[in-house]
Structures are given as C-alpha cells and as structure tokens.
A and B are shown apart, each in its own frame.
Chain A
Amino acid sequence: MSQLETEVFIIGGGVLGMAIARELSRYKVDTTLVEKEVDFGWGSTKANMCIVCQGGDTLEFRKEYHRSRLVWESIPLMEPLCRELDVPFKRVGELSVFFDNEGKAKFQKMKTRAESMGITTHQFIDGDTLRRMEPNINRGAIGALYDPTIAITDPVRLTVALAENARQNGVNLMTGTEVLAISRGAGAFEVQTSRGGIKSRFIVNAAGMFVDKVAAMVNADDFVVFPVRGYVAILDKKVGDLVNHEIHARPEALGEMNIITPTVYGNLIIGTPMKLARRNDFSTTREMAETTLRSVRRLVPDISERDIINSFAGFLMFRNWELGWHECVVGASRNVPRFVNVSIGYPGVSAAPATAKEVVKLLNQEGLKLEENPKFNPYRRAITHFSDLSDEEKRGLITGDARYGHVVCRCETVTEGEVVEAIGRGATTLDGIKFRTRAGMGRCQGGFCTPRIISILARELGIPEEEVTRKGDGSRLLLYKSKQLLETAV
C-alpha cells in the first residue's frame, strides 16, 4: 500500500471522532479517520444509557469543569444535529427521585449549581405529581427534581449518520485499521497502521478507551485514564411503558447507583453499578446483574429479571486526580505540537457536538487553515425503517420493491429491503446490520433472523456464508459446511 498523505488524521471512529470528522468537513481540510473495528461506534459509544442533553444532572457537574461546559454547550446543538442527520431524538425529561428530605437537600445543591450556569429549567415536584408522571414509581418516593431538558437518542445510529455525512462531504474513512505506532517527522507525523503508513500534519486522538495508549506512542500522554466498568441491561418492549422519563436516585439515598430510562425504540434500559476494571474486559458478572436489578427495583418495583432481553458492559473513563477526577481531556498536547487529545469519559455522546467545534478551534490554533467548504451538505437521510412508516407508505414501498415485503426480523419487523440498504451503506457484519436496522435486537435476540441475515450478507457481499462474521475478524459465525467435519480431519 502506497503511503497515504492527509492533513488531519483522526484516530477513533466513535461518536467523538466522527463528530470531529463531520465538523472538519465543513472546511476544505483533507481529513482521514481510522477505526480499528470493522464498523463505527462499537466501543464506548455503543454501551451506555443513550441519554443526551444533561444539564447538570449530577453533582460532578461544576462550572469550572471543561467537561461540564462542553456538555452544556452541546444541549442546544443536539436536537438540530439529530434532525439534520435523520437520527431518532426524544426529549423525555429526567426525574431525580428522593425518598427523604436529606435526598432532597442533595438535589437542591444540584439545582443551585445548574442555576449558577444559567440553566433554570430544573424544578421540584411533590410526590403526587411524581406519581402522576411515573405511576409505577416506588411508593416511598416523596418527590423529585424534574429536568425537562434531558433527551434520549441512539448513539450508534448517530455515529453511523455522522460517518455517512462526513464521507459524503469528503472525509476519508477507513475501518479495520489499527494505529500501531506514531513518529514525529519534519513538520508531519508518520503513522504506522495495520493497513500501511499514513503521513499527516495534524493528529486528533479520539481513541476512546485507548486514548492514553495512543497518546503514549508519541509522548503526548500528559494524563492518565482509569477505566470504570458499568452494567447495562435492555428490557423487553412489553414493559416499555413502566417508565416515561429518565429516572434515578442519589446513590447515597439507596446505597447503589441506579438509572432507568426509556429508549427511542420503546424498550427500557437499566444500569449501572460501577467498578474499576481492565479496559479490555467487556464481560459482565452475575454480581453486576444482581446489584443493578436490586437497585433499580427500589425505584420501580415492577421491573423483573425476566424482562431483560440483553445485557452488556459499558465503560466510563475517569482522569487522574491532578486534573480533577471528573475532568475531561480536550486539548492540544503540552509536549507535542499539532496533536490534540480528546477524551470526555462520560457523557461522551452528550458532549460530542460542542467538543467537535472546540477541537476544530484547537486545530486552528495549532496552525490548521480553515477555509469553508462551499459544497458542505449537513443533511443525511436515514435508511428506510419499515416499522416506522404509515400503512400507506408501507403499501407503496412493497409495491415498488418486494424485498420490503419480506420480513427477516420478526421481533422488530425489519425487512430484507432494509438489510440490503444497510449493506449498501457499509454494514459488513451481523452486528453492523443489527445497529443499523435493529434486526436481532428484539426479544428473540437473533434466534429467528440470524440465519436469514447471514445469507443476505453472503449474497450481497459476494462471499461464502462461512466468511460472514458477527463483528469482524475472528468472529465467524458458521465455522464449517455440512459434512465437512466428516470428510476431513479439520
């Protein structure tokens, strides 16, 4: 592979890297983004509570924190962004529930802090109002702090949308490309990747959980991160109406962290006790599941283990003490010019819009020339989502293309037409289809659609079924053809 040259090189195709890539595509800047996985948004972006527009919903939000400012500045940007990119967005509001006056006092502190930042939408509601808004809440709750600003989205779909829009505006996106080494040459970095060398004047390090490892490659690691693992479980849509808002309580009030929130698709998500963990360890434990269930049931007693249809681990990245435990890193390296580190930790999705703007500003300060791209088009259309359409639209769609009349995922009513569209937009794996179409995300968790999607992927990609993977190299789904094990000693 001949050496590729680019002006700005972004490492990491999560929501932050992709928001930065898309923001840069507003300018005539030659940008390349690499992602080590075969698709975008598969790191921390995919494993969180899907909440955005936090306006000081925890006590760690402080006026003086860089992170808090980026989250706050993103609030007015998020909904327009989702609209431009045709990504689901729903303003559900948040209820910080308390069970005694001590709990209320803590939330009063939060409210005061938010108000000091000019956020005046928080209000206290009493127990009766709370029960009207959330009829299934624990009887012991005496009130809540209500923040109407909080919203939910689909972070992976947002990332995929940002990717499609960035690509359409000229950004070069490379998947399955891992950064192995970075060296500083004359006026430019030489980056060695698993798919060849790349030369770039500027580097944006948005490597998510590996942000410190990448920074260390070029001695730009003037910070340390601590990975903290949380647990997230998805509940069946049939209990989706148990909860209408994002609700949580103070950990101190109930002994454990607990969040319940609706999703844009009608499921509920519950999470998340947090523990320090190895950052490569995405496994869940029995204890995590039990603790989460126990703690969320103190908020909404009707939530049952039986309703969990999937669960996984997510990571938050905390910083070292000297920067402030909760502070983020969005800044040019002190040691290395033209090298910008980006790590929000959490909530990365919420902070992405303002962070992207800030990083472009930082690059400009580091010497990147910004000339407007007159061809920049902010709009991107989502693929068809059959189940969202009106009856009339459904009829029209099937008449035009019979593949939309072939339902391959029964739980989420996803059609062959949508799967083919997703492949056309860059999905190459079972998980890639899942995140774009929701096929396999329903209550049967792929039992029905997996064989069907494997054969569509094989057909559309022109590969044998045995080469189809769940999530890239090393994750083939069908290892052998029938009788193959009998014919040869494999």
Chain B
Amino acid sequence: MTLRDVDVAVIGSGPAGMAAAIKAKETGAENVVIMERAEQLGGLLHQCIHNGFGLLYFKEDLTGPEYAHRFVEKVMDSGVRPLLQTMVVGISPHRDVTAVSSQEGYITFRAKSIVLAMGCRERTRGALNIPGGRPAGIFTAGTAQRLVNVEGFVPGKKVVILGSGDVGMIMARRLTLEGAKVEAVVEILPYVGGLIRNEVQCLHDFNIPLLLEHTVSRIHGEKRVEAVTVARVDKDKNPIAGTGRQIECDTLLLSVGLIPENELSLMAGVELAPITGGPVVDEGRQTSVPGIFAGGNVVHVHDLVDNVSWESELAGQSAAEFIIGGKRAAGRRVNLKPGRNIRYIVPHTVSGEKEVSLYMRVNEPEEDVRLKVGSIMTKTVRAVKPGEMLKLELSQAQLSKLKEGTAEIVVDCEERGDR
C-alpha cells in the first residue's frame, strides 16, 4: 500500500473547505488538497439557488452558486489541488486519511494537518419517530431542494412542511414558485427555527400559513403520503388531544434541524461537544487532536455562509501554521462557559493572546438584553433569537483585562435592568 504525503488535507469542498484550503495555501502550506465526494467543488451551495449569500463577506447579494463560484476561482488560482469524486471513509488519529475514488481507487493519504469541513446533515423522521405509515413522499427539506434545484423534479403538489428551519422556509417559497401548494409550515416551538428574514420573505410574502406550537402528530398513507394530522402542542411539546386536524397532502418535508456530520471526526478520536454536536475547538479551530482542525457547519450549525467562510479561514490558517511553525507549546487556555440564556459558544477556549470572534446562540428569544463576557466586555442587543447566531468581537485590549490565572469566563445574556 502506498501512502501519499500531503501537507494539509481538507475534507469537504463546501464554503468551509474552500475557504480553509485557500487560507492554508496563502499562509504558506505547500501541498494542500481538498477531498470532495461530488463531481464539482462547492458542496451544498449549488442547490442553494436563492440569494442572500455574501452580504457580509463580499458586501454583495449573491446566490449560492455565485458565492461558490467566487471561491472555486480562488481555489483554482491558488494552487490548491481538488480531488473530486473522492469520498473520505476514514481518518486516523495520526492523520491518515482513507478515501474511495472512482478514478484513483482506494487510497490513503498521510497528512501533516487536516481540516474537517464536512458540514452537516439533516435530522430525519426516524429520529423524530412520527407515528403513522411508511409511505413515499417524505423528504428532508435539503433532499427536496436538491431534487428541485439540481435534478429538476418536483416531489409533489400539495405539501406540508414540518419545522421552520431555513431550508424548510426557503423550500416553501421555492415549491410555491414551482406551482405546488404549500398547505402549512408547522413549527413545534412558539417561534420559527430559522432567520426572521426567511420567515418574512419566504412565508409571509407568499401567504404560506405558519402554525406555531403545532406538530405533525400522524402521517396517513401506506404507499404515498395522503394526509397528515396537525395538532397543537402543550408546554412539553406533546400533541394536545382533540386539537388534531387532517391536512390533505402528497408530500411532507422535514426541516427539523441540522446535525454536524462528525462520524469521521469520531474515527480520528476528536472530542465532540454535546450541545453543538461538533468538535470542541480552540480559537484557532484546533480540535482535541493536535493537527486536526475544523471549520464551518461541522463545528456548529451556522445561519449565514459568510461566517462559515471566516471561521474556516481561521482553521485553514492554523492548519498551515501547525506545519510551518512545528508543534507550538500549548499556551494559556481559558474556557468559555455558557451562562444565562446562552446555549453554546464557539470557540470553546481562548488563549487571551489575540483578538477573537465569539459565535454563540441563545436558548430562548429575549428582547433588550446585554451580552456580558465575564468582566471584560458588555454589549447591548435589542433582541436575541435562537435562530440567529450572535457574533461578539473581543479585542486584544479587552482580553488583556483577563487576570493572570483565569481559567474560565462566563458569557451571559442578561436582562437590561437599567431601562
């Protein structure tokens, strides 16, 4: 068996993988490869034909394929080597990467550093255990998006969407534009799961009914979906008896959450955080395994691609520095701990030595709050929602306020008492 030596192996060529690879190359790594299972670079961006990409990163309103194209051109110009139709099936803790490729066969790379950029996958119905039959016509929103936008098919003409994640709301609009009737978007929580801009632009603007605090309590049909029962839920999210009503439909889409895709990370021995489902990372996006870095939705599910690109650039830079500078001595590590109404914070640790962006989500929607990072920073925010990721920039000056020996900083989302 021949091992192929590479400097940086990037797994996945979505926005995360491309940004990481380009940055690794720019930082000085020589032999950078991107392994992509599809026929082209870009990952899921190709099926995201709607706009709203790049508003922050490029200060332009781009579609998914356009956003991808900008990065594909950079990849091509940068000298990063794309390996297409190459599915990585294994990563070892000492950074051997095994892949299956129709052109190259069954191959193993020995990488000096790795960037995990596998993105995320959709939660499925099985995981949700919806009672009822097992008919055709149930798709995750992302699969439906691929079928409509890439393959050229419309799964059905009367559609109910369970869950109000961004892809679900975007598909509600997309299917309406394709001539299908979206009977309802059904959300178990009292607020939508995705961005407010999608609620407005995809649902309200198209008069698509949004049923909050409801769920699909039963699927009808054995061969093909014939209807679903939609019921109101109580505080514990259980359907309330007597509130069910049947909605005739031929298709049920599921947009009930995304899960970082970390099977390969686990094979490599990378520690995962229970809340995000992604690797525990430091501010340079290094995982618990030295030399293995991670960026984008594999770490935590983002709502804006711009942040994916930025975050992954950090991972790419660190992956290159890891090779060039050799293994650096472990510096100071300060844990970031979610406090009041904070669900999680990425990165999980900071060094305090350089400026850092904190990405976080809240547990519950709240208005007029103050985000407080220990005693080193506060910021007032008019409204926070679980569907909208928060980003806080900590400057070096603020970090220098950290006392020597600080092991942990608590980040809180506080009510503003001064109003």
A-to-B contact residues, CB < 8 Å: 233-234, 238, 280, 282-286, 288-289, 305-306, 308-312, 391, 394-395, 398-399, 402-407, 410-411, 413, 415, 430, 443-448, 450-451, 454-455, 465-466, 469-486, 490
**Secondary structure class of chain A's binding surface, majority of residues:** mixed
Considering the chains assembled together, what is the distance between the CA atoms of A312 and B125 in angstroms? 12
Which residues of B35-89 are within 8 A (CB) of A?
A: 37, 85, 87, 89
Closest B residue to A486 by CB, please name it.
B179
Closest B residue to A401 by CB, please name it.
B102
Instruction: For residue B266, give the distance in angstroms from its CB to the closest CB of chain A.
Output: 7
Considering the chains assembled together, what is the distance between the CA atoms of A312 and B135 in angstroms? 12
Which residues of B1-27 are within 8 A (CB) of A?
A: 1
Q: Is the CB of B154 within 8 A of A448?
A: no
B402 interface residue, CB < 8 Å from A?
Answer: no
Q: Is the CB of B124 within 8 A of A444?
A: yes
B137 interface residue, CB < 8 Å from A?
Answer: yes
Considering the chains assembled together, what is the distance between the CA atoms of A282 and B106 in angstroms? 42
Q: Is the CB of A398 within 8 A of B105?
A: yes
Q: Which residues of A contact B219 (CB under 8 A)?
A: 283
Q: Is the CB of A474 within 8 A of B153?
A: no
If A402-B102, A477-B155, A478-B147 are given as contacts, then 8 extra A-B residue pairs at C-beta distance below 8 Å, sorted by A number, are A283-B132, A413-B100, A446-B143, A450-B143, A475-B135, A478-B154, A479-B156, A483-B179
The proximity string for B residues 124-161 relative to A, scoring 1 for CB distances below 8 Å and 0 otherwise, is 11110101111111011011001110111111110000
Query: Given that A309-B127, A398-B102, A476-B224 are known contacts, is A483 also in contact with B122, CB under 8 Å in the complex?
Result: no
Q: Is the CB of B157 within 8 A of A407?
A: no
Q: Is the CB of B148 within 8 A of A410?
A: no
A and B contact pairs by CB, cutoff 8 A, 5 listed: A238-B266, A283-B218, A288-B131, A479-B154, A484-B179
Q: Is the CB of A477 within 8 A of B136?
A: yes
Q: Is the CB of A398 within 8 A of B100?
A: yes
Partner of A475, one of B87, B218, B223, B251: B223
Q: Which residues of A contact B127 (CB under 8 A)?
A: 306, 308-309, 445
Q: Which residues of A contact B140 (CB under 8 A)?
A: 447
Q: Is the CB of A405 within 8 A of B223?
A: no
Q: Is the CB of A407 within 8 A of B100?
A: yes
Considering the chains assembled together, what is the distance between the CA atoms of A317 and B365 in angstroms? 51
Q: Which residues of A contact B148 (CB under 8 A)?
A: 482
**Secondary structure class of chain B's binding surface, majority of residues:** mixed
B121 interface residue, CB < 8 Å from A?
Answer: yes
Query: Given that A285-B131, A479-B250, A484-B154 are known contacts, is A447 also in contact with B122, CB under 8 Å in the complex?
Result: yes
Considering the chains assembled together, what is the distance between the CA atoms of A477 and B136 in angstroms? 6
Considering the chains assembled together, what is the distance between the CA atoms of A25 and B98 in angstroms? 45
Instruction: For residue B165, give the distance in angstroms from its CB to the closest CB of chain A.
Output: 14
Considering the chains assembled together, what is the distance between the CA atoms of A454 and B155 in angstroms? 12
Q: Is the CB of B129 within 8 A of A289?
A: yes
Instruction: For residue A121, give the distance in angstroms from its CB to the closest CB of chain B.
Output: 36
Considering the chains assembled together, what is the distance between the CA atoms of A280 and B104 in angstroms? 49
Q: Is the CB of B136 within 8 A of A475?
A: yes
Partner of B153, one of A403, A407, A482: A482
Which 4 A-B pairs give the minimum distances between C-beta atoms? A485-B179, A405-B102, A474-B223, A470-B136
Q: Is the CB of A284 within 8 A of B131?
A: yes
Q: Which residues of A contact B131 (CB under 8 A)?
A: 283-286, 288-289
Considering the chains assembled together, what is the distance between the CA atoms of A478 and B87 in angstroms? 27
B178 interface residue, CB < 8 Å from A?
Answer: yes
Considering the chains assembled together, what is the distance between the CA atoms of A444 and B122 in angstroms? 7
Q: Which residues of A contact B152 (CB under 8 A)?
A: 481-482
Closest B residue to A455 by CB, please name it.
B151
Considering the chains assembled together, what is the distance between the CA atoms of A56 and B101 in angstroms? 49
Query: Considering residues B146, B153, B224, which has the most beta carbons from chain A within 10 angstroms of its beta carbon?
Result: B153
Closest A residue to B177 by CB, please name it.
A486
Q: Is the CB of A403 within 8 A of B102?
A: yes
Considering the chains assembled together, what is the distance between the CA atoms of A455 and B179 in angstroms? 23
Instruction: For residue B15, give the distance in angstroms from its CB to the closest CB of chain A.
Output: 18
Which residues of B319-368 are within 8 A (CB) of A?
A: none
Q: Which residues of B contact A410 (CB under 8 A)?
A: 37, 87
Q: Which residues of A contact B139 (CB under 8 A)?
A: 447, 450
Q: Is the CB of A398 within 8 A of B223?
A: no
Considering the chains assembled together, what is the distance between the CA atoms of A334 and B251 in angstroms? 49
Considering the chains assembled together, what is the distance between the CA atoms of A286 and B131 in angstroms? 6
Q: Is the CB of A282 within 8 A of B154?
A: no
Q: Is the CB of B124 within 8 A of A405?
A: no
Q: Is the CB of A486 within 8 A of B178?
A: yes
Partner of B154, one of A305, A411, A473, A485: A485
